[in-house]
Homo-oligomer: A and B are copies of this chain.
Amino acid sequence: MQPGTPDDDWREDCAPRRVLELFATKWTSMVLHTLHARHDGAARTGVLQRSLPGISKKMLTQTLRDMEGSGLLDRLVRSTMPPAVEYRLTELGRRFVEPVELLYGWGRDNADALDQLVPRPGSRRT
């Protein structure tokens, strides 16, 4: 492992890097977790919105659309009036909940370390 031989685990298309992409989109992992936390792995739009403090309607829809396109969740529309839309984790979605829960769990167990890291926002370097 000499300094001239990069052992690069980080090729552009390697698995780890693609997992990271999942977390690159701010809300994706949170949606996954929220759905997972529900008994049946499903929730209506409003519930999701309320479960994710700070998300805008636009980002919620956009994230859900992207996830649907990726096959992470299904969209069930009940054409009542007013409409009731439900989002449900797919098989693939349930799979990706795993790494999310991994991080989630680590965070809960290491809140102290998180307090050391970036104690308060806006202290990068003035």
- Chain B residues with CB under 8 A of A30: 10, 17, 20
Near B by CB (< 8 A), chain A positions 63-108 give 65-66, 69-72, 92, 95-96, 98-99, 102-104, 106-108
Q: Is the CB of A103 within 8 A of B108?
A: no
Q: How far does the alpha carbon of A33 sit from the alpha carbon of B124 in the complex, in Å?
A: 23
Near B by CB (< 8 A), chain A positions 98-126 give 98-99, 102-104, 106-108, 110-111, 113-114, 116-118, 124-125
Task: Give the contacting residue for A53; candidates B12, B24, B52, B66; CB below 8 A.
Answer: B12
- Chain B residues with CB under 8 A of A21: 118
- Classify the interface of chain A: helix, strand, loop or mixed: helix
- Chain B residues with CB under 8 A of A71: 116-117
- Chain B residues with CB under 8 A of A46: 3
Interface set of A (CB-CB < 8 Å, partner B): 1, 3-4, 6-12, 14-24, 26, 29-30, 33-34, 37-39, 44, 46-47, 50-54, 65-66, 69-72, 92, 95-96, 98-99, 102-104, 106-108, 110-111, 113-114, 116-118, 124-125
